[in-house]
Structure 1
Amino acid sequence: MAVTLTPAAADRVRSYLAETPGGIGLRFGVRKSGCTGFAYVVDIAKAEGPDDSVFETDGVAVRVDAASLPQVDGTEIDFVSQGLNQQFVFRNPRVSAECGCGESFATS
């Protein structure tokens, strides 16, 4: 499988990369958090990690560390604008439960 970006997400990441000297792609992963287990971590990657898996969509690299990959493999990252709100949305087929506040998730 892979981690993919929609065209809207790829465009948004490209704009962030243009503003970030030394940016080489998007770093996507998880950290332990909340009542359910994991929270997404998204940042601009400035260096290659020794255990990164790299997935490319429309020329934009998404880097995922080995510890995060089992929880995010298969995720589609979108960028959605609704009224004045803009945010990344994660469509992760591995999610089996989410907390009520949307802070964290569990995978099966």
Structure 2
Amino acid sequence: MNHSKMSLEPVSITPTALEEVKNIMSHKGIPTDYSLRIGIKGGGCGAMGFVLGFDRPKDSDLAYSAGEVPVIIDKKHVMYLMGVEVDFVEGAEERGFCFNKE
């Protein structure tokens, strides 16, 4: 397959989030040909939400590596994701991935 490669990372991923992604991939048996998919989903009243998951790359994806983690984003979503940082927080009140927009 011929996937677009990009040197600029539209979405940055913090080291803490990368470690959690690698942990999930190894402990949940994610296939090695899957990548971390970052995307958007439409919400009510024009609000957008961010989504994370694991998926096989498609021809319509932009692909790059964040550390050792292969990342894919649907090219139609890139302009909405530019400048977003994915982080992972773990505290007494909350635990999970969060999206910070610059």
For normalisation by structure 2, the TM-score amounts to 0.79
Q: Does 1:39 align with 2:21?
A: no
2:84 maps to 75
Inter-partner Cα distance in structure 2 for 1:58 and 1:21 = 17
Cα distance between partner residues in 2 of 1:68 and 1:54: 12
1:26 to 15, 19, 36: 36
Contact 1:80 / 1:87 at 8 angstroms: preserved in 2? yes
CA distance in 2, matches of 1:61, 1:52: 12
1:61 shift after superposition: 1.6
Aligned position for 2:14: 6
Identity %: 24
Letter in 1 for 2:16: A
Listed as ranges, the gaps of 5+ residues in structure 2 are 1-7
- Give me the CA root mean square deviation: 1.6
